[in-house]
Amino acid sequence: MEVEELKVKKQIKKYDNEKKALISILQDIQEEYNYLPPEALKIVSKSLDIPLIDIFGVATFYRAFTLEPRGKHLITVCLGTACHVRGGPKILEEFERKLNIEAGETSKDGQFSLETVACLGCCAIGPVVVVDSDYYAQTTIRKVSSILKKHIKKD
C-alpha cells in the first residue's frame, strides 16, 4: 500500500498542524491505512517538526496503534480473569485453529488479525470476543465459526 503524501498532509491540516493533535492525527492515519506506515510517520514528523523517534514512541506506547498491517477485521479475545475461567483460552485456540494463525498475527488472505486483551471490562457477560466493533457475549468454541462467517459476509 502506497502512502499518499497529500492525503497525510490533509489529515494533519485538519488539526491546524498542531503538535498537540498528534494522537488524533495518528488515529486518522491508522483508520485510513489500517496501520501506521513508516512513510506516513515521516511526513507527520516533518510537517509537525516533531522528531521521528518521538512519534514512534507515541505509536508504540499506545496499544491501539500498530506499525504492522492489520487484517480487514480485528478479532480481540478477552483473557481477563472472568473470561479466562469461562473458557477464553480455548476460544482463542479455536480462532487460531480456524484462521491458521496465532495471536498477534494476520491471516494470509489479509482478512483477519487476532489479538488478545487482558480485560475488556464486561466480565459479567464473558467470555467476550470483539470483532471490529461488534461484541460477542458468552462466546463458546462452537460460536467461533459463525462469528467468522458473519464477518466474511460483510466484505
Determine the Cα–Cα distance for residues 129 and 131; give it in Å rounded to an integer. Answer: 7
Q: How confident is the model at residue 63 (pLDDT cuts 50, 70, 90)?
A: confident
Pick from 2, 51, 22, 3: nearest CA to 12: 22
pLDDT digits (tens, 9 = 90+) for 14-45: 999 999 999 999 999 998 898 999 999 999 99
The average pLDDT across 128-151 equals 96
pLDDT digits (tens, 9 = 90+) for 72-95: 999 999 999 999 999 999 999 999
**H or E stretch covering 55:** helix 52-61
Q: What pLDDT is stored for residue 64 in this prediction?
A: 84
91: CB partners within 8 A, 6+ apart: 77, 127, 129, 139, 140, 141, 144
Domains with residue ranges and CATH for the chain? 5-61 (no CATH), 73-153 (3.40.30.10)
Q: What pLDDT is stored for residue 154 in this prediction?
A: 59
Query: Taking the model in full, what pTM does it have?
Result: 0.78
Q: What pLDDT is stored for residue 24 in this prediction?
A: 96
Residue 44, burial from CB neighbour count under 10 angstroms (0-12, 13-18, 19+): buried
59 grid coordinates: 505509536
Determine the Cα–Cα distance for residues 23 and 142; give it in Å rounded to an integer. Answer: 38
